[in-house]
Chain A
Amino acid sequence: MINWAEEWSSFYKQFVTLGGYKRLFDGLIATVEIAVFGLAIGIIIGILIAIVAVMPRYKLLPKILDKICKVYVAIFRGTPMVVQLLVGHYLLLPLLGVNVSGVFEAVIIFGLNSGAYVSEIMRSGIQSVDAGQLEAGRALGLSFWSAMGKIVIPQSIKNILPTLGNEFISLIKETSVVSFIAITDLTKALKLIGDATYHYFMPYIMLALIYLVIVLLITWGIKVMERRLARSDRK
């Protein structure tokens, strides 16, 4: 059914002779950029929200912050990524009147989205750390933030690293929806190569392989990090 020679020759022509590899390279960079920066923003937002969630609530401020965070998490977990991208791109940005590059926009929206998910991961991570750890820190005279930053968060990071890795992997794969706001990511780049000749076989195989390699690399990286962080558990 498939004419291999033709598939290969048309792909080779598009990819090598006509310089399609540049498109692929740009797309790959966009994908990695969005996922990595998105996760970085997500982790920071996530940690802040998680801390707010476990903060003692004597005062008014933590209560208000907690409410705001709850609404934020509900919105970003309750709507699909694509919808957030479309709303952000076609509604919010024009309303705000700012003009930023598409990738930057995607980074922000992916960051906000993964922030909502990471916050839940972080919260469970913080709660998985024995309350006595925080108490011992506070009893030594450390402030809530120091005790959190030096004692609780490092321990919780270790607990949640595998889950965080999963979040990163799903983020990498989810970036393929950015073509909805006209960003040429990895998926779109290879699709364009296919579109040029109507031979999609090679581009799509290649697409799958690239994603697979990226995900395997991340999995390996997380294993290495886990091993390093596990030092304190070693008997």
Chain B
Amino acid sequence: MIENNILDVQNEKEVVVKVRGLCKSFDSLQVLKGIDIDVYKGDVVAIIGPSGCGKSTFLRCLNCLEDPTSGNIFFEGEDLADMKVDINVHRQKMGMVFQNFNLFNNLTVLENITLAPVLIAKKNIAKTKRKNFFIKIGNLFRKNKKPLIKIEQTLKEVKENAKQKALDLLAKIGLEEKANVYPSTLSGGQKQRIAIVRAFAMDPKVMLFDEPTSALDPEMVGEVLDLMKELAEGGMTMLVVTHEMGFAKEVANRVIFIDDGVIKEENNPKEFFGNPQDERLKDFLAKVLI
């Protein structure tokens, strides 16, 4: 499969996500009309566009929160648009941050962060144990005993590690004293930073941000953007749907403009904002950059 080679020879950079011909329709309404993009390791891609252009839908299609109608999304060597792929495994490596934070209201901040890593580890351990059980039964009849699969970490260790990691991350963003409170007591900015940490704690290969600052009070936008900037500087691959042109200019290394379900223009921030080509983009920038 030529399409799916991980190394892009030209740039010799690792392709993290490769999208080809992505289309999405809601009943008769076609929102995405064929999107192609390669996202390389370490890229920070800002996605901008007028509302209703399909930029959020595009992001949500990447981890199949919306199932693509057609097209391919290659990630970790598999096509996520294929319904047979176990999407849950890949989603673990695709962190997502939502406009409305979506912290789990019934869990404390710490539990919010550790829930997924612990649950997934628990599931994997159970799976390994199950496999080992069958190997053991098989070994009864085998001459050459098959070795058991080693369980790297016990559940207790996983829990300890996840907790420690979560506390470390919280300390990094200065919210360690909020570890045991429920989300309803936090401000929007705090919530969003914790949501980012929650996604980051999974060690994702790429993080998707769906308008992360749109639901925030203006004074809190800064703290969230700072955290995202830190992540970008740490080498995290990011796709960010945003209205913050400042962020796009400053942090992103690529900016794409989606309109009417297709990518109308893509460039580095300097060229993108300094010398736009597409008429619609010129129009759009004129409106937002007053």
Taking a contact as CB atoms closer than 8 A, the residue among A140, A151, A233 that contacts B182 in the complex is A233
- Docked Cα-Cα span, A140 to B63, in Å, equals 10
Instruction: Judge whether A163 is part of the interface by a CB distance below 8 angstroms.
Output: no
Q: Let me know if A140 and B102 touch, CB within 8 A.
A: no
- Looking at A21-29, A107-115, A128-136, A171-179, the stretch in contact with chain B turns out to be A128-136
Q: Let me know if B98 and A232 touch, CB within 8 A.
A: no
Q: Let me know if A135 and B184 touch, CB within 8 A.
A: no
- Distance in Å from the Cβ of B38 to the closest Cβ of chain A? 22
Instruction: Judge whether B154 is part of the interface by a CB distance below 8 angstroms.
Output: no
Instruction: Judge whether A92 is part of the interface by a CB distance below 8 angstroms.
Output: no
Residues of A near B182 (CB, < 8 A) are 231-234
Q: Let me know if B106 and A154 touch, CB within 8 A.
A: yes
Instruction: Judge whether A97 is part of the interface by a CB distance below 8 angstroms.
Output: no
Q: Let me know if A232 and B202 touch, CB within 8 A.
A: no
Instruction: Judge whether B176 is part of the interface by a CB distance below 8 angstroms.
Output: no
- Looking at B49-57, B68-76, B114-122, B232-240, the stretch in contact with chain A turns out to be B114-122
With A141-B88, A150-B115, A151-B106 known as contacts, the answer to whether A136 contacts B184 (CB < 8 A) is: no
Q: Which residue in chain A gives the minimum CB-CB distance to B198?
A: A140
Q: Which residue in chain A gives the minimum CB-CB distance to B91?
A: A141
Interface residue ranges of B169-204 to A (CB < 8 Å): 182-185, 195, 198-199, 202
Interface residue ranges of A130-176 to B (CB < 8 Å): 130, 132-133, 135-143, 146, 150-151, 154-155, 158
Interface residue ranges of A210-235 to B (CB < 8 Å): 231-235
Q: Let me know if A139 and B184 touch, CB within 8 A.
A: no
Q: Let me know if B96 and A139 touch, CB within 8 A.
A: yes
Taking a contact as CB atoms closer than 8 A, the residue among A138, A141, A143, A155 that contacts B105 in the complex is A155
Q: Let me know if B185 and A234 touch, CB within 8 A.
A: yes
Q: Let me know if A141 and B92 touch, CB within 8 A.
A: yes
With A132-B98, A232-B184, A234-B185 known as contacts, the answer to whether A151 contacts B119 (CB < 8 A) is: no
Q: How many residues of B contact A (CB 8 A)?
A: 34
With A139-B63, A140-B116, A146-B119 known as contacts, the answer to whether A133 contacts B88 (CB < 8 A) is: no
Q: Let me know if B100 and A141 touch, CB within 8 A.
A: no
- Distance in Å from the Cβ of A83 to the closest Cβ of chain B? 39
Taking a contact as CB atoms closer than 8 A, the residue among B65, B103, B115 that contacts A139 in the complex is B65
Q: Let me know if B102 and A135 touch, CB within 8 A.
A: yes
Residues of A near B202 (CB, < 8 A) are 140-141
With A141-B88, A142-B116, A234-B185 known as contacts, the answer to whether A136 contacts B105 (CB < 8 A) is: no
A-B CB proximity, top 9 nearest: A141-B92, A136-B102, A140-B116, A139-B96, A132-B102, A232-B182, A141-B91, A154-B106, A155-B106
Known: A136-B104, A136-B195, A151-B104. 15 other contacts (CB 8 A): A58-B83, A133-B105, A135-B65, A140-B92, A140-B202, A141-B91, A141-B202, A146-B123, A150-B104, A151-B106, A158-B106, A232-B106, A232-B182, A233-B184, A235-B184
A: residues with CB less than 8 A from B are 58, 130, 132-133, 135-143, 146, 150-151, 154-155, 158, 231-235
